[in-house]
Amino acid sequence: MRHSGVRIEELCELTHLSIRQYQRQNGEVIALLVIAPSKTDRERVIPMSAELFHVIASIIRRHTQAGRSIPLLSRFDPHDKVWSGQLPFLFQRRIGSTDRVISGGTVLNMIKRRCDELAEQHPGFRTTRFTPHDFRRIFATELVNSGLPIHIGAALLGHLNIQTTRGYVAVFDEDIVRHYVAFLDHRRELRPIEEYREATSEEWDEFDEHFDKRKVELGSCGRPYGTPCQHEHACIRCPMLHVNPKMLARLDELETDLLDRRTRAQAEGWAGEIEGIDMTLTFLRAKRDDTQRRTNRPAVDLGMPPIPAAPKEAR
C-alpha cells in the first residue's frame, strides 16, 4: 500500500496474474502491477518502483519456496457477495491445514499490531493510528511533491476527478518554496549573467504595488507578478487564494449564506444555481481545511537570501 497507493480491497484482490512486464524499444523491461476494477470499475496499471518490485518478489518467493506453485484459492467479495474463481492470490495465509485469502479485516488488525509495537519503542506514537487509506495519501503526496503532474497521479490512483487527487495531496509551504527556488536557480543557469542588473526605484515601486493589489478580503492572491485577476475576483473558487487564518470565521459566515441560498434554489428548482453553489461550497471547505492545517503547523524560518556581489569588470 505504501509503494503502490492501492485501496485495501484492491490489495486483497492482487494475484500472481496481476504482475506483467512491458519492454520498451530500447530493450528496457518495466515491471507493471495491474489493478483489477474495484471502486471505479476501471482497470489501471502501475509501473513498479524498485521498492515495490522487491516487496512483490519477496511475497512470491515465500509462496513458491520448496519448488511449489502459489495455491489456487477462491475469495469471497464482501461488497458484491460473490465468490471468485480459483486464482493464485498473493495475499493468502495458512490457518491449520487450510490456505485462505487474507481479508480486509485481517489487514486492519495487522496494521493495528504494528502500531502497538511502534508505540512501545517510540512513546510519541501511542495516540497515532494508521489506516490503509493513510498509506494511499502518503503515496499521492510523494508523487505530486516529487514533481509528477497531478493528472498522472490521478491516473495511478484510479481517480476519475482530479479534484479528488488534490484532496489527497498535502502540499506544505516549505515544499513550495524549495521547488520554486530550485526553478529559479535552474533558470538563472540558462541565461547570461549580464541580464541580471540592479532594479530601478520605479521598478521596485511597481513591484510593491503588485503585492498591494493582491490583498483581498479573505487573505492574499498568489497570482504571478504582473498578471491581472483571471477569475473575475471569484476568490473562493480561485486556487491562487491564500486565506488568512484570521478570516476563518468569515468563511463560516460565507458557508452559512451559501447553504441558505442553496435551500432557496432547491425550493425554486434552480438546478444550475444549485450546481454552482455546490462547487463553491466544495472549494470553500477545502480552503478552510487547508488553512486550519497550516494554522496548527509551526512557522518555518527561511531566513534572508544572500545577495550576490556584482560581477567585477574585466581588466
Q: What is the 3-state secondary structure (H, E, C) of 91-132?
A: CEEEECCEEEECCHHHHHHHHHHHHHHHHHHCHHHCCCCCCH
Distance CA 133, CA 231 (A): 34
Among left, alpha and beta (phi > 0; psi -120 to 50; other), residue 266 is alpha
Q: What is the pLDDT of residues 47-61, one digit of tens each?
A: 888 888 888 889 888
- Arithmetic mean of pLDDT over the chain: 79
pTM of the model: 0.48
Of the listed ranges 13-22, 160-169, 181-190, 196-205, the least confidently predicted one is: 160-169
Give the pLDDT confidence score for residue 245 in this predicted structure: 86
pLDDT score recorded for residue 176: 52
Contact 56/42 with Cβ under 8 angstroms? no
Q: What is the pLDDT of residues 219-233, one digit of tens each?
A: 887 777 767 777 666
- The pLDDT of 273-290, averaged and rounded, is 88
What is the structure's pLDDT at 41? Answer: 59
Average pLDDT over residues 201-207: 80
Please tell me which of 95-109, 125-139, 237-251, 255-269 the model is most confident about, judged by mean pLDDT: 255-269
pLDDT tens by residue, 102-117: 888 888 888 888 888 8
Can you read off the three cell numbers belonging to residue 311?
560581477
- When pLDDT is averaged across residues 73-90 and rounded to a whole number, the result is 86
